[in-house]
Amino acid sequence: MRILVCNDDGIDAPGLKLLEEVARRISDDVRVVAPDGKRTAASASITIGRPLTIKHLGGNRYSCSGTPADCVVTAMTWLFKDGQQPDLVLAGINDGRNAAEDIIYSGTLGIAREATFWGVPAIGFSRVKNPDVRVGDADFLARFVERLWTGRDAWALEGHWLSVNLPAILPAKVAQPRIGRDKIGTIAEIVSEEDGQTVLIVPRGRAHSSTPGDENDLIDRGYICVNRLNWFGETGLEDEILERLG
């Protein structure tokens, strides 16, 4: 079994190190491609028509100058071009939960979505800030991934991937949450105003709004939250609208 591990927090992130440990407990064929720096909220953007720099860091570890999704693209088009593509892509473990609108903003989940474009099953892992990391976490998560892999026929459908949010303490029970609303980027702060030019910054942080049964609620109650997401989901127009357009 070949596993590709990527993230959006950068090649030196603690969450990536833990996910590497998880992958290596499952397989002896693990490749790591991660950004050379933090790429928070990069979503699923990729770099087209501009150079990307890949650095071999020893073993099967590489850094990429591009976005999180670029890590998948470069792996598929370069690293694996002469061999078998991975059986599974693991993304994360993100430094912070990916809930509500984050399922679109997240670079971690952008990695998983990009993997599905190549027909590879993918799981994006995120965890609350400042978790209580324990010695047994890697073993628990390896067993968790193995169970997901065994049952992949139920979730690894075309265009689908999994988003897994981990609570502060593992092991934990599993729940499927409702996708909530907790928008980031709702305010802008003025840095300077001069000569018709305004410099703004959108600060980090969110309201941490929650309603019963959504991701924030269940994560805060100590559950592992699992959602199956997909990238298609077109919705047909009503006949009345089509008639007006015609």
> pLDDT by residue (tens digit) across 148-177?
999 999 999 999 999 999 999 999 999 999
The whole-number pLDDT of residue 234 equals 64
Decide if pLDDT at 232 tops 80.
no
Distance CA 35, CA 47 (A): 13
How many whole angstroms separate alpha carbon 79 and alpha carbon 74?
7
Mean pLDDT in the chain?
Answer: 93
pLDDT tens digits, residue range 52-95? Answer: 999 999 999 999 999 999 999 999 999 998 888 999 999 999 99
Where are the domains positioned within the chain?
2-180+204-245
pLDDT tens figures, 176-219: 999 999 988 889 999 999 999 999 999 888 888 899 999 999 99
The type of residue at 162 is L
Which CATH superfamily, name and number, covers 2-180+204-245? Survival protein SurE-like phosphatase/nucleotidase (3.40.1210.10)
Alpha-carbon span 34 to 72, nearest angstrom: 9
Q: Model confidence over 32-48: pLDDT tens digits? A: 999 999 998 888 899 99
* 2: β partners: 29
On the question of pLDDT at 123 being above 90, the answer is yes
Q: Yes or no: say if 60 and 30 are a contact pair by the CB < 8 Å rule.
A: yes
